[in-house]
Structure 1
Amino acid sequence: MTRSNVQGKAPSDQETVPRTRRGSNTPVEPGEHGGRRLRGGSKTDRRRRRRRTLRWSATVLAVVILGTAGAGYLYIQHLNGNIRKGELLSGDSKAKKPTPNAAGQTPTNILLIGSDSRNSDEDVKLGGARQNRGTPPHADVQMLIHLSADRKSAAFVSIPRDTRVDIPRCKDPKTGHTYPPVNTLINASLGRGGPGCTVATWENLTKVYIDHWMMVDFAGVVNMADAIGGVDVCVKENVWDRPTPAQPGGSGLKLRAGTWNVQHEQALQWLRTRHAWGSDPLRAKAQHMYLNSMFRKLKEQNVFTDSGRLMDLAEAATKSLQVSQELGSVKQLYDLAMQLKSVPTNRITMTTMPWAPDPEAPKEHAVPDGANAERIWQMLRDDVPFDKNGKPAAENKKKPTAPAKTPSMPAGQLGVLVQNATGSSTESPVQLRAKDIANVLAQHGYARAAADTASTGLSESETLVRYPSADLEGDAQAVAKALGIPMSSVQKSTDVSGVTVVVGADWRTGTSYPKQSQPKDGDLPSNSDAINGADKSQCMPVYKPYQW
């Protein structure tokens, strides 16, 4: 704006134009209240104006911060309200928490469960089978996520849904109904006490302590896929998973050969497809390809620094997931996500539990593949990486052992019970095994050692020495030493009334306990179907009847 002329003359750069009070010809003196110098006023005036500006700016900033914080708090509370929670464990389990490493760290194990629940309109629409609405759900996808203690590697292990296992006694936390132990397909565990029963089933099978569970249904899978903008998958041939004269059902997945970005219902179809791949274990492999691709995409997008995408993902995740109670807040889920994000893709390994045909139904069901499955579980228990891409550990990876204790009584006075637990899902128990080991103990001076003839049907993958109370720990250690059993296999347990030797499937023959080799990094069984997270070359072959 141009100032008004004085006496018809425009002011020069050197001239000062006097201001007058409104309604008066008296000039306002510079520095007088209400006046100002054309060149900014005095230093005092400038300080006053600066203080007023700073006070105003601070006030506005405080309002913005408080408003944002308030909105953030309300949004976090909203997300927390989305999360559905349940009990971690609702069945009998003997798994023990792992001992911290030299740095005081422990691994984290999360059981991921994919439910076939059809208890909502959206689930029925996506999953079909309306006649099954309201029936107990099945855990059609079961995958253990193992984050190493140092958070530098991660392992994923799937168990095919048609695997026959022992499901322990479980109590439904919602209804209070108790289900007795049963030997049946592992996917039935979810309907016999909820996710906590599935956790107990895994812990009894693997002896791996599980810290958390997360469960997602049909609708949740679709919401998550949409939130990240779809996931890239690959098929070698044209695929159409549809009903055939020989096999009803099918997911409806229809793709031409090549790489495709699947989202919406198509993402769910990919994860549910079984017949077109040829088997349930191959479905697990397709799921592993999907997850690896998803992890790569999340890292490439850097979604954790994009507030818009992060909010979309947070909304979808909290609405889609049910979690165990101790994982039931946005902060805990975010912390877990950041730990997963920190793992390089070439340190992520997807596997399927080694399995064998079920002797009772070889064409339909599976059972754990004895020693090969046990190697996988041992690597998880010992926190041995599934890949070979890490730096060699400086510390000894042997299992930590308790300090040696002095026996409370002479060997000849100690009563020792020996149990036969040499049976497994693929092998029958070795007859008279408990009696044979009791005789070995007698030769070492344990005259009161005796076989347990009352217990039958026990099954343990590894031999253990159990004791009920601290005063018998030294006696249990002495028994283990006499038999050559490692001190790491000596365990306190409320399931025994005295020192008890449980002869497991790892000691089916001989009178000397066989030396167990420690697994090495990446030393996976050949039938674990391992896929590295950085491998972009994976592409699913299609079973001939479902090609088009």
Structure 2
Amino acid sequence: MLGAAAAGYAYWHLNNNIKSVDIDSALGDNRPAKAVTAPAASAAAPLPTGSLNILVLGSDSRSGKANQALGGGDSSGARSDTAMVVHIDAGRTKATVVSIPRDTLVTRPSCPLSSGGSTAVAYQAMFNTAYEVGGPVCAVKTAESITGVRMDHYIEIDFSGFARLVDALGGVTVTTGQDIDDDKSHLHLKAGTHHLNGTRALALARTRHGIGDGSDLGRIGLQQKLVKALLDQMAATDLLTDPARLYRVADVVTAGLTTDTGLDSLGELMKLGQSLKGLTSDQVKTVMMPVVTAPSDPNRVVAREPAASDLWASLR
């Protein structure tokens, strides 16, 4: 009885950690068509096997003391510091991760607001402002408007959630091809292989002043290295044989996540994770949406055509 009660409490606790947004209801039917996929599940294959498109955002919100400390103090509002469209092929054995530079100038569509009303259409707006003005709903709508790809799910993680996830997994191992010296992100690394804890992994994901030309484009490559490093670490850590670690990781993941309502339960998240258990880092392709310097601003970029449209068409 005590064991059942403890298990029940643990499930309730993890389930209630998850924050969610009802994106489907907010956006209605005026969206790209869903992809034609393999059957979702059957008696012979209880886990979903169809293709999926997931918008994954890293929020730069400084809400809460932990995020303020990791993000470098207080800052008003919140933007999508990192944006990736994760396309998982039917069969769940291959995936493509497309990074959208936050400084990309786009036409931001009118988005419904939870308080009522809607935002105005904005031209030549930075992509990451969609989250700032309209939260997850506007981030999804803006991503769908520039890609033509229906986002089946939405996952958002903040500074502290990412750092705690890395720590719960025992850190990540990454290899950098150049020295990184960035006083703003407090990251100083020599070129080579490093095992990073959560705080340093977050700094690597955020650094841009110590690499390349100091723009957002340079750090996208580092973020994609981290995605593969996390996949490798998850594969190397057999959570199913270590219940204590499994609970710690689940506790961290659910506490740091905001999802759409289709993923807002522990059961749905576990089902998604189990369906991806055959996905390894060498089966994940990472690319960046093709861009060029914006004619109107040398510090901004715009989609490079027709390459960008060809990329989104290939995912559809």
Q: TM-score, normalization: structure 2?
A: 0.91
Name the counterpart of 1:267: 201
Specify whether residues 236 and 155 from structure 1 end up closer, same or farther in structure 2 by C-alpha distance, changes over 3 A only. closer
Name the counterpart of 2:286: 350
CA deviation profile, 1:144-199 (whole Å, cap 9, x unmatched): 111112212111111000001111111222x2252111120000000121111110
Specify whether residues 296 and 364 from structure 1 end up closer, same or farther in structure 2 by C-alpha distance, changes over 3 A only. same
Name the counterpart of 2:158: 217
Name the counterpart of 2:20: 85
Which residues of 2 match residues 89-488 of structure 1 at below 5 A?
89=24, 90=26, 93-101=30-38, 106-130=50-74, 132=75, 135-173=76-114, 175-183=115-123, 184-242=125-183, 250-278=184-212, 279-361=215-297, 363-381=298-316
Structure possessing the higher relative contact order (Cα contacts under 8 Å, 6 or more residues apart)? 2
Provide the alpha-carbon RMSD of the alignment: 1.8
Report if aligned partners of 2:235, 2:280 keep a CA contact under 8 Å in 1: no
The letter of the residue matching 2:246 is L
SS at 2:276's partner residue?
Answer: helix
SS at 2:97's partner residue?
Answer: strand
Report if aligned partners of 1:153, 1:347 keep a CA contact under 8 Å in 2: yes
Paired with 1:102 and 1:68, the residues of 2 have a C-alpha distance of: 37
Report if aligned partners of 1:233, 1:289 keep a CA contact under 8 Å in 2: yes
Q: Following superposition, which runs of at least 4 residues in structure 1 exceed 6 angstroms of deviation?
A: none
Paired with 1:314 and 1:266, the residues of 2 have a C-alpha distance of: 21
Name the counterpart of 2:45: none
SS at 2:128's partner residue?
Answer: helix
The letter of the residue matching 2:179 is N
SS at 2:286's partner residue?
Answer: strand
Report if aligned partners of 1:163, 1:365 keep a CA contact under 8 Å in 2: yes
User: What is the CA distance between 1:356 and its match in structure 2?
Assistant: 1.3
Gaps of 5+ in 1: 1-65, 243-249, 382-548
Gaps of 5+ in 2: 42-48
Report if aligned partners of 1:171, 1:192 keep a CA contact under 8 Å in 2: no
Paired with 2:240 and 2:313, the residues of 1 have a C-alpha distance of: 34
Specify whether residues 257 and 74 from structure 1 end up closer, same or farther in structure 2 by C-alpha distance, changes over 3 A only. same
SS at 2:299's partner residue?
Answer: coil
Specify whether residues 359 and 73 from structure 1 end up closer, same or farther in structure 2 by C-alpha distance, changes over 3 A only. same
SS at 1:370's partner residue?
Answer: coil
Report if aligned partners of 2:232, 2:280 keep a CA contact under 8 Å in 1: no
Report if aligned partners of 1:107, 1:149 keep a CA contact under 8 Å in 2: yes
Paired with 2:200 and 2:40, the residues of 1 have a C-alpha distance of: 44
The letter of the residue matching 1:310 is L
Paired with 1:313 and 1:129, the residues of 2 have a C-alpha distance of: 26
Question: By percentage of residues, which structure has more strand?
Answer: 2
SS at 1:341's partner residue?
Answer: coil
Name the counterpart of 1:466: none
User: What is the CA distance between 1:265 and its match in structure 2?
Assistant: 1.6
Q: TM-score, normalization: structure 1?
A: 0.53
The letter of the residue matching 1:76 is Y
Specify whether residues 357 and 304 from structure 1 end up closer, same or farther in structure 2 by C-alpha distance, changes over 3 A only. farther
CA deviation profile, 1:218-246 (whole Å, cap 9, x unmatched): 1111111111011112223432102xxxx
Q: In percent, how many aligned pairs have the same letter? A: 32
CA deviation profile, 1:25-47 (whole Å, cap 9, x unmatched): xxxxxxxxxxxxxxxxxxxxxxx
Question: By percentage of residues, which structure has more helix?
Answer: 2
Report if aligned partners of 1:91, 1:169 keep a CA contact under 8 Å in 2: no
**Number of residue pairs the alignment of both structures matches:** 304
SS at 1:171's partner residue?
Answer: coil
The letter of the residue matching 1:220 is G
The letter of the residue matching 1:70 is A
